[in-house]
Amino acid sequence: MNDLSGSDKGASYDPSTFQPLTYVDGTSAFAEGKDSPSAYLERCLDVISAREGTVKAWVTLNEAGAKEQADASTKRWKAGKPLSPIDGMPIGVKDLYMTKDMPTQMGSPLYAGRMTGEDSAPVQALRLAGAVVLGKTVTTELGFSHPGPTTNPFDPERTPGGSSSGSAAVIGAGMVPAALGSQVVGSIIRPAGFCANTAIKPTLGALHRGERQGMSHSHLGVHAGSIADMWAVTHAVSHFVGGDPGSPGLFGPQTAPVASKPARLIVTESEGWHQTDDATKTAFETLIDRIAASGVEILRRADHGDLDAFEKEIAESLLLCRDICGWEMLWVLRNLAEKDVTKLSDSMRQRLSMASEMSIDDYRAALTKRDAMRARFKAVSANADAMITLSSTGPAPKFVDSATQEGEPGLIHTTGLPAYNAWTSAIGCPCVTVPMLSVDGMPVGVQIVGRHNEDWRTGAIARWVKETLEPVIG
């Protein structure tokens, strides 16, 4: 295990030329002896060496352990006995999930150096699938809004997003083909969009979160460079450890979603639309026009009363998430404050203060509101194959600008606004983001939102969007 240093200037984003790192599409070369997981890992380590000094996406690397895992995978592929399609794939793990061979520090000095000696359920699944668990990626403090050191791989003056900042950045920087992330408000989809990832926030509970089950709508998800890699990792976690206790787990075959053209899509504005910059709106509308021109029927709130009612139902999702998350993590924050309140950020102390003012009745009211959102989503989503919306309110903000962005009411978000994400987290439906827009020389994601347990189909529609339509350069 080692800390990292180096330098890199990053690069602006051109969706027509950007080539993300992929894995499963090249594994046939392993069996043929033309390539190997060991050689693949070495190429990843070369990129990490070149770029990590500026991107700062890793907390810890277990380079020696990774080489041992890759060597074992190389032997399995040579023998024609890979454990899964991701056997040998180097993967980063968001530093909220336990790893037996590396510390789990959760972006907080209160957990500095903490060795659990155990793997979280999804990490155990990766090892059983033969994947190479390369290192721990940077997260914000306890997975919320106070940032770590990571920069955007396309512009070091901008945020990579949060809280899965490191997981998104390692994909955008071409360091590894996949990484685990998590989302309770916007922490998979938003940073993925900022860093030109393909990523999935699956149906709530579809992937086992191991010890990370203290929040009722937290999701485990996957960042990747392609739909195929994204699905292969997602399916492997479900196959080896299933979903959360009481959940049937992920539905869908092992094979990657095949591009599927939808007949009808619902454009969803949510509370993000009025906070979105004009250039991003224009780029998104251009994409919607292209989708409509291809023969897909587009439904919008202005023309349908039930869609407008749904939009109104989800219009305060950020406030809802703030209250539900605050109440559910209150006991954790009290424990940490008793240890040393000075080691909590100003943002986290503010969360503690706000949550301390809540009552059980406030929490019950929030749950009732969430139930109403879920019921209306179920009714409205039946009218189309999926919904389509932006992944963020624009490109990743510069650090100097992000310091004043208000996200959840009363809280400052330094990693970009999760205004397009909170409602899908609360509802628990699957989302897949694909890099379809370039605004101000930076990536902006577009997400397909599917019905519960239709993760594979959601990925299939997202793949159609990605592979059929030209990206929009604004």
Q: How far apart are CA 243 and CA 248, in angstroms?
A: 6
Model confidence over 64-79: pLDDT tens digits? 999 999 999 999 999 9
Token pair 């994947």 in the structure block, residue: 131
| pLDDT over threshold 80, residue 403 | no
Token pair 């986290």 in the structure block, residue: 348
Q: Residue 208: left (phi > 0), alpha (psi -120 to 50), or beta? A: beta
| pLDDT over threshold 70, residue 8 | no
* Mean pLDDT calculated for residue range 199-221: 97
| 455 token code pair | 């993760």
Q: What does the pLDDT read at residue 413?
A: 72
Q: What does the pLDDT read at residue 400?
A: 81
- 98 contacts 123 by C-beta, under 8 angstroms: yes
Q: What does the pLDDT read at residue 7?
A: 41
Task: Report percent pLDDT > 70 for the chain.
Answer: 96
Model confidence over 415-459: pLDDT tens digits? 999 999 999 999 999 999 999 999 999 999 999 999 999 999 999
| pLDDT over threshold 90, residue 15 | no
Closest CA to 394 of 225, 274, 268, 266: 274
| pLDDT over threshold 80, residue 23 | yes
Q: How far apart are CA 313 and CA 325, in angstroms?
A: 19
Q: What does the pLDDT read at residue 401?
A: 72
Q: What does the pLDDT read at residue 451?
A: 98
| pLDDT over threshold 50, residue 145 | yes
| pLDDT over threshold 80, residue 3 | no
Query: In this structure, which long-range contacts are made by residues 311-317, counting pairs with CB atoms below 8 Å and at least 24 apart in sequence?
Result: 311/268, 311/269, 311/270, 313/372, 313/373, 313/376, 314/270, 314/271, 314/373, 314/377, 314/423, 314/426, 314/427, 315/270, 315/271, 316/271, 317/270, 317/271, 317/373, 317/422, 317/423, 317/425, 317/426
Task: Report percent pLDDT > 90 for the chain.
Answer: 93
Q: How far apart are CA 327 and CA 385, in angstroms?
A: 35
Token pair 């049937």 in the structure block, residue: 248
Q: Measure the CA angle with vertex 448, ends 445 and 454; round to 5°.
A: 145
Model confidence over 52-107: pLDDT tens digits? 999 999 999 999 999 999 999 999 999 999 999 999 999 999 999 999 999 999 99
Looking at per-residue confidence, does 369 or 11 come out higher?
Answer: 369
Q: What value does the mean pLDDT of the chain take?
A: 95
| pLDDT over threshold 50, residue 43 | yes
| pLDDT over threshold 90, residue 368 | yes
* Mean pLDDT calculated for residue range 385-392: 98
Closest CA to 367 of 277, 427, 421, 409: 427
Burial class (CB in 10 A: 0-12, 13-18, 19+), 440: middle
Q: What does the pLDDT read at residue 198?
A: 98
| pLDDT over threshold 80, residue 412 | no
Q: What does the pLDDT read at residue 402?
A: 65
Model confidence over 225-280: pLDDT tens digits? 999 999 999 999 999 999 999 999 999 999 999 999 999 999 999 999 999 999 99
Model confidence over 294-342: pLDDT tens digits? 999 999 999 999 999 999 999 999 999 999 999 999 999 999 999 999 9
Q: What does the pLDDT read at residue 409?
A: 73
Model confidence over 331-341: pLDDT tens digits? 999 999 999 99
Token pair 């994204």 in the structure block, residue: 230
Q: What does the pLDDT read at residue 406?
A: 59
| pLDDT over threshold 80, residue 39 | yes
| pLDDT over threshold 90, residue 10 | no
3-state secondary structure the chain: CECCCCCCCCCCCCCCCCCCCCCHHHCHHHHHCCCCHHHHHHHHHHHHHHHHHHHCCEEEECHHHHHHHHHHHHHHHHCCCCCCCCCCCEEEEECCCCECCECCCCCCHHHCCCCCCCCCHHHHHHHHCCCEEEEEECCCHHHCCCCCCCCECCECCECCCCCCHHHHHHHHCCCCCEEEEEECCCCCHHHHHHCCCEEEECCCCCCCCCCCCCCCCCEEEEEECCHHHHHHHHHHHHHHHCCCCCCCCCCCCCCCCCCCCCCEEEECCHHHHHHCCHHHHHHHHHHHHHHHHCCCEEECHHHCHHHHHHHHHCCCHHHHHHHHHHHHCHHHHHHHHHHHHHHCCHHHHHHHHHHHCCCHHHHHHHHHHHHHHHHHHHHHHCCCCEEEEECCCCCCCEHHHHCCEECCCCCEECCCCCCCCHHHHHHCCCEEEEEEEEECCEEEEEEEECCCCCHHHHHHHHHHHHHHCCCEEC
